[in-house]
Each structure stands twice: as C-alpha cells, then as structure tokens.
Amino acid sequence: MKRLIEQSSGLVTALKCGVNKIGIARKLTVQERRLLLSVIVIPVIVSGTLAQPLARDYRRAHDRDILNEFTHLLSIPNIASDRENIRRNADFIREMMQRRGLNPQLLEGKSADTPPAVYGEWKVSGATHSIILYAHYDGQPVDPKAWTASPPFQPTWRTAAMESGGQVASLPATGEINPEWRLYARSASDDKAGVMAILTAFDALRAQNATPEVNIKFLFEGEEEAGSPHLGDIIDLHKQLLESDAWIICDGPVHQSGRKQVVFGVRGDQNVDITVYGAKRPLHSGHYGNWAPNPAMTLARLLATMKDANGRVAIAGWYDGVEPLGEAEHRAIGEAPAYDDEIRSQLGLAKTEGNGQLLMELINQPSLNINGMSSGDVGALARNVIPTTASAVLGDLVSVGRNRLSQTRGVGESAYADRLVLPMGDSFVDSRTVRWTEIRDLAIGAETVGFDTVWTADELLWRSAGRDPQG
C-alpha cells in the first residue's frame, strides 16, 4: 500500500522513472531542451497546478475504490507463460482504461500466443509531442508452495510487514487507512503497482480538469519478466501508434531510504545455464565414492573460481571495456543518502562484498550472480547417491561498454569440466540515456523557468543497476 501511495503522488511518481530519449551525443537545441524540460516537468506540474498534492488528495478521497480495483487486478494470475490468465489480465486492464476514456486497445504480436500489450492514449488538442508511460502487468514465476502465509493470488492485508509481526486484517469499511499496512500478493509491487499508480494519477489529474502540454500514451506489457521476447514485434507492428519523443519506464525499486528516484540507465543482463554431467545413471556413494566424479562437487569448484573473497569477478577480461562513470554520475552517487550500514543491519549481514565500496558504486559495475543451483535431492528425499548432473543458472549483469557476448564467453572459457553444456538464456542490453547529464541539469535547474518546486530532496537522479524492458 505504501508503494502505491508513493507512486500515485504524481502523474508518474514511480519507483524507477527513466527518460530514454535516443539521440546523438551533441548539445541540445533550444527546441530539444524545451521538449525534454516538458517531459520532465509534466509529471509534476500540469497547467500550473502542483500535481503531487493534487494526486495525494485524490487518493485519500478515493482510497477504497482504488484499492478494491487494485486487489481485483492482483487476484488474476499473471505468469507470462500462463497464456489464458495473462490475457485475462490484459482484458481487465483494458476495461480499467475504457472506464477512464483512454480509448484502449490490445496490441497483438505476430503469433496468437503472444501476450498482448495494452495501449491507451490521452490526446491533447494542439500538442505536437508525445510521451509513453510504460509499466508491465506480468509477474515473475511463483512457487505457490513457498507462499506459506497466504496464496500468491489471494491478496491479503497485514497490519505491518510480516517480518515485523504484521497480522492478517481486513480493510476497514470507513476511516483512515494506515499507510503502514501491507498488501501481500504476487506483483503487488513489481509491477502491477506501476499500472495502478499511473491510472490513479490520471484519474486525479482529470478530476481537477488538469491538462498536460504533451500527448500521453500508455503501454502496459505482458511478458517483461520473461524477457520481453515479443515487445520488438509489437512495436514494429504498431509503429505509428507508438510514435513518441520519449518513454518513461515505471518499473524498479524504491531507494532504500524511501526517497523517489529518477533513473537514467540500467545494466544489461545475460543469463547462462550450466550443466555438468557425471555417470549415465545415479551411483551409490558407498560403492563408487572417491572414484566416480560427482557433478555437484565439480560444479561447486567451478563456480568458486569465478569470484574472489571480496566478490570481485575473477574471470579474465571480465571488466574490459567498461565505460567509466562520469563526473555527474559520481556526484549523484555522492549526494545519495548514506544507507549501507542501515541496510546491512536490516538484512542481518555481518559482512558485505566489495572491499568497502558503497552499494551504489558496486551496482554500477558488471557482476556475476548464481540465480539458482540444482543437483540430487535434499531433506526427506536425500539419498546416498552420486547424481548424474548438476546445474546452475548464472546472471551476468553487464555495464555500459561491456560486450555481453564476450562476457559470456569468459564464463565458458573458465569452465574446466570434462562434460559441460553452456547455453545462453535471456538477454537484456545495457543502456544509458543519451545526454542524461543535460537532462539532469534541466531538471535540477527547472526553477530558472518558474518551476521552483519541481524537484525536491525527495527525488534522486542517477543510473540504476536493474534492467529495463527490451524491444
């Protein structure tokens, strides 16, 4: 609930809100500066009215209607591979937009099983520029058995976070709703909250007859968590409809301090599947131990060679070609709240990696993560057996300037197992908004054109370590 409140306090007060305007790195023309300033300013000020208090007041007056609609949306299973339910999500969002007069339509891909993107638009008479507000309605795969407190698609209210002892509760019929209450459901945060926040902010602006100076288009995708494999096709098939000057991507984490942030770039991501093979059939460890190689042990030794004790990737050439951060980016990191100690305490970590570097510094570097491992059985199913295979999924986080394919080859070249399969999985291209420093300076200097309350200490502007949808 708290995240939804924060997101709906502007036209797009989002947890990660980056303006991706593609162009050549040159000085902005006067027209471009005005356009970019309008793109930055419009989310906060519309027709001279402060939009954040406007949206906040609207939300307080309509909180139950908003939350009832939101919980209905959350109750629809939204795993991208579940084609039937993912289309139910799209149909429901289309109905939400239809009630708001946004002329919605489903943008289909080239194949019938492609999850549709939901499109709508707010056309403004006389406007010559357009921006697209993006969020996604699909969620990450979920294991219902791991949701021991409440099912993933049964939205459940708690009086506080579960780890703080929050108890199951019902939304009160009247009176103020405690903003510290938590709503538990799959995608209650990432990223159905983005969909709901954008539409709620639109409601607030329309309720005040506020009008932006640019056309606003809405695009809600249905398979971002699966790697957006068909987003490119959807854009190609609907180029004219999706023509715009900028995209604002509303998807990502709130800063650990709780402050809103505007992000101008993301790391890329390349998944790699590793499978080590042993004997053709499971062997009894009492009969073949110390003789037959154990794939799980081989995989463990292999993975242990890939990082040193400080968490730095030890694969040769891993950091070659990484584009260093500029002066403005270092300044943005330096101006960020010092929060590492508090996070460390909250997470119960006695030690963190990076040899003393800050979190914000480290997440701007390429990294290597083990997403998951599997070999044999554990717990009640554990047996005295040498397994036939051992598998791991690696997530290679790529920084700007680093070739993700050469980075993946580095993983393969570091492998020494006799029998190893190394297919590449999903891939996301690293990106940095072109001329982001000029956009940032426009935002910070907006008071020179009369918008003296646009950016406050609650907004942080930098590059992110996440990944954006790829089309």
Residues 29-62: tens digit of each pLDDT: 444 444 444 444 444 334 444 556 777 788 889 9
Same domain, 76 and 37: yes
Same domain, 238 and 294: no
pLDDT digits (tens, 9 = 90+) for 233-249: 999 999 999 999 888 88
Same domain, 248 and 380: no
Same domain, 121 and 71: yes
pLDDT (0 to 100) of residue 164: 87
- At position 312, the amino acid (one-letter code) is R
- 8 A C-beta contact, residue 437 and residue 238: no
Same domain, 172 and 42: yes
pLDDT (0 to 100) of residue 450: 36
Has residue 184 been placed in a domain?
yes
Has residue 8 been placed in a domain?
yes
Tokens representing residue 127 in the block: 């406007």
Ramachandran bin of 450, using left for φ above 0, alpha for ψ from -120 to 50, beta for the remaining angles: left
pLDDT tier at 439, thresholds 50, 70, 90: low
- Distance from C-alpha of 435 to C-alpha of 306, rounded to nearest angstrom: 35
Name the 3-class secondary structure at 109.
coil
Q: Residue 19 is inside which H or E element, if any?
A: strand 17-20
Task: Output the domain CATH number for residue 395.
Answer: 3.30.70.360
Same domain, 377 and 454: no
pTM exceeding 0.85: no
pLDDT tier at 406, thresholds 50, 70, 90: low
Q: Residue 207 is inside which H or E element, if any?
A: helix 192-207
Cβ neighbours, 10 Å, residue 343: 13
Has residue 7 been placed in a domain?
yes
Whether the CA torsion 225, 258, 152, 116 is positive or negative: it is: negative
Has residue 296 been placed in a domain?
yes
Mean pLDDT of 138-165: 91
pLDDT (0 to 100) of residue 35: 43
Has residue 471 been placed in a domain?
no
Number of domains in the chain: 2
Same domain, 247 and 121: yes
Lowest-confidence range among 177-191, 207-221, 372-386, 407-421?
407-421
The DSSP symbol for 214 reads S
Ramachandran bin of 261, using left for φ above 0, alpha for ψ from -120 to 50, beta for the remaining angles: beta
Has residue 182 been placed in a domain?
yes
Q: What is the dihedral of CA 83, 87, 88, 90, to 10 degrees?
A: 150
pLDDT digits (tens, 9 = 90+) for 280-296: 999 999 999 999 999 99
Q: Which runs of consecutive H residues, i.e. helices, occur in 364-427?
A: 404-413
Has residue 468 been placed in a domain?
no
Same domain, 82 and 220: yes
Same domain, 178 and 144: yes
Has residue 273 been placed in a domain?
yes
Task: Output the domain CATH number for residue 166.
Answer: 3.40.630.10
Q: Which runs of consecutive H residues, i.e. helices, occur in 75-178?
A: 83-99
Opening angle at CA 319, ends 224 and 227, nearest 5: 10
In terms of residue numbers, what domain contains 314?
Answer: 268-322+365-428
Same domain, 272 and 218: no
- 8 A C-beta contact, residue 76 and residue 89: yes
Q: Which runs of consecutive H residues, i.e. helices, occur in 394-435?
A: 404-413
- Distance from C-alpha of 3 to C-alpha of 196, rounded to nearest angstrom: 11
Same domain, 312 and 454: no
- Distance from C-alpha of 179 to C-alpha of 327, rounded to nearest angstrom: 38
Reference 63, options 146, 176, 181, 162; nearest CA is 176
Name the 3-class secondary structure at 162.
helix
Reference 410, options 398, 426, 392, 428; nearest CA is 398
Opening angle at CA 281, ends 280 and 286, nearest 5: 125
pLDDT digits (tens, 9 = 90+) for 312-371: 999 888 888 888 887 877 887 888 888 899 999 989 999 999 999 998 888 888 889 999
Same domain, 74 and 202: yes
How many residues in the chain?
471
